[in-house]
Amino acid sequence: MTTTTVRPTDSLLRQYLVLTKPRVTQLAVFCAIIGMFLATPTMPPLQILVAGTLGIWLLAAAAFAINCLIEQQIDAKMLRTARRATATGSISAHQVVGLSGLVGGAGMFVLYYWVNPLTMWLTFATFAGYAVIYTIILKPRTPQNIVIGGLSGAMPPALGWAAVANSVPAEAWLLVLIIFIWTPPHFWALALYRNKDYEKSGLPMLPVTHGQSFTRLHILLYSVALLGTTLLPFAVRMSGWLYLVFALALGLRFVHISWQLYQSYSDEKARQLFKYSIVYLALLFAGLLIDHWLMAF
């Protein structure tokens, strides 16, 4: 993923905005919004839709900024992240903590008073888990960090569902499971073509600890598992035939690219899979939403 360049003359707010990883935040919030729409056969209440989106976005932004602060020394060693304001020192730790506290606190306030306490606490736990448990405990200690820590990144659909229904039923957890299985092949594809960066950083990412071939095999296995997992909404009658077509077409393409990567490695193929995985998740959830609307109306 392309890193936004930050210049020393950029404003504090611009530097902070880059630290919130806007592209990652947008995908997470998009999945949360899909969860909101799937939680009801009709349109979600406008207040819940707006306040839920805003609150989740603010808490995600705060968590990603704290993540950058914790990893500032690691980021400084990696080409992809060396220009982050925390890595260059152009924004201080106190500024990051202060702005994150302000933004995160605002997000919690919005969710508590205009959505519901369940969504506030689930969102807080999700992004605290990402910023602390994943970043501090898992990421520097185990090559399975992205697998175990992937639960935090998989939670947005459940957060959106909780915002509308004030509960998290099995259907919401099924959406979480899809993103949970999607996360390892998505991230390992990035780790493959950024392998030298991770070697410099000292992080035990799978391509560094177990090699390229082992990582490519696991990407392929997870891709096949992902294809099977995405068929579950149709199997349990949560979705209809249109979603099944989306899931099969998108999933088979995912497996095909993973198979090509497994057979013969190149940075270009790894980059292709990484980029496709982002488009894949967006289109899969969009297909789920379209199918839901057609079934409802």
153-161 mean pLDDT? 95
pLDDT of residue 270 exceeding 80, the answer is yes
pLDDT number for residue 3: 47
- DSSP helix, strand, coil percent of the chain (3-state; round to 5): 80, 0, 20
Assign domain 169-297 to a CATH class.
mainly alpha
- Hey, what are 251's tokens? 């999933």
- What lies within 8 Å, CB to CB, of 180 at 6+ separation is 150, 151, 154
Q: What are the tens digits of pLDDT across the range 275-287?
A: 999 999 999 999 9
- CA-based R_g, the chain, Å: 19
> Which band of pLDDT confidence, cut at 50, 70 and 90, is reported for residue 297?
low
Euclidean distance between CA atoms 140 and 232, whole angstroms: 33
- CATH no., domain 11-166: 1.10.357.140
Q: What are the tens digits of pLDDT across the range 3-16?
A: 444 454 457 777 88
pTM of the model: 0.91
Q: What are the tens digits of pLDDT across the range 58-100?
A: 999 999 888 888 888 888 888 777 888 888 888 888 988 998 9
Euclidean distance between CA atoms 242 and 245, whole angstroms: 5
Where do the domains of the chain lie? 11-166, 169-297
